[in-house]
Amino acid sequence: MADNDAVLSDDYDVANPRWYLATRLRDVLLHRWSADIQAIGVHGSMAHGDDTDGSDLNVVVVTYGKSTGPRSALRRVDGTLVDLTVTTGEDGLRRARELTPRWPLVADRFVTTKDLFDPRGWFGGQRDAHLGKLAEARPAEFSALARRNWCVAAAAHARAVRLAEWYDTDAALVLMAEARLHTAMVAGLLSRTYFRNRADAVRRTGLAGADMTELGATLKAQAEDLTARGRPVDGPLSALFE
């Protein structure tokens, strides 16, 4: 697992325009839905303390029940892109205890969240729930998830190669981006490493600049690794239902 530290209670600097916007948003939320909200927090670069003028504001609102509180939204506010996600406490903890093929891209928000309002320590509970799941997860679970990402990556890579042969360069570039991302997620799952975002995933795995030949070689090596772990990428019909 990557050595990302959870940030739960440090003070925030309202001189920073993104933090100022975050506190304004928190105040509006609590004024309108005070009886419905358990916790409010931010994740992403702001939780890590390295946000810049171009950073988004990623806010999560935890409610007591479904169909209560605000709705999820995505829009620019005062020049900053605000991604507002709303979840119930029950659903949030359930997702924290799940492992999915997107684990390398979602785990960071489970373990690194900075609270704006969390009187009962809900975010700490979410972090503990996720770390507990990781502690009990068997290697085969990660290998199975990695195989799913490998299949997506290999299919996108093969289509990109064909499109490049047909001189459809723009479409090939789109598929190469998809192939790089899913190849990076294979690497993350096999090493139990999570990433900050998609760009961080391809950068940290050295795939950001990989061409078709290099990416094909990486996929071949991953296929061999998965086979050695008991999760081959190809097999009989019965393997489809594993």
Give the ranges where 97-211 is alpha helix by DSSP (H): 103-111, 122-136, 139-165, 169-191, 198-204
pLDDT of residue 13: 83
Delimit the domains of the chain by residue range. 17-136, 139-241
pLDDT of residue 241: 84
pLDDT of residue 105: 98
Give 196-201 contacts, CB < 8 A, sequence gap 24+: 196/44, 196/45, 196/48, 196/108, 197/44, 197/105, 198/105, 201/104, 201/105
CA distance linking residue 59 with residue 62, whole number of Å: 10
Tens digit of pLDDT for each residue in 5-29?
333 334 678 789 999 999 999 999 9
Residues paired with 86 in a beta bridge: 61
User: Residue 3: pLDDT above 60?
Assistant: no
DSSP states of 135-166 as a string?
HH--HHHHHHHHHHHHHHHHHHHHHHHHHHHT
CA distance linking residue 187 with residue 164, whole number of Å: 25
CA distance linking residue 159 with residue 93, whole number of Å: 38
Tens digit of pLDDT for each residue in 85-124?
999 999 999 999 999 999 999 999 999 999 999 999 999 9
How much is the average pLDDT of 185-198?
97
pLDDT of residue 67: 87
At 93, list the tokens.
């903890």
What burial class does residue 66 get, using C-beta atoms within 10 Å of its C-beta: 0-12 exposed, 13-18 middle, 19+ buried? Answer: exposed
DSSP structural state of residue 230: T
CB neighbours of 14 closer than 8 A, spacing ≥ 6? 20, 23
Structure pTM?
Answer: 0.91
Tens digit of pLDDT for each residue in 35-83?
999 999 999 999 999 999 999 999 999 999 998 999 999 999 999 999 9
Q: How confident is the model at residue 4 (pLDDT cuts 50, 70, 90)?
A: very low
At 124, list the tokens.
């700490």
CATH class of the domain comprising 17-136:
alpha beta
pLDDT of residue 88: 97
pLDDT of residue 242: 75
Q: Which residue has the tokens 């093929």?
A: 101
pLDDT of residue 164: 97
Average pLDDT over the chain, rounded to whole? 94
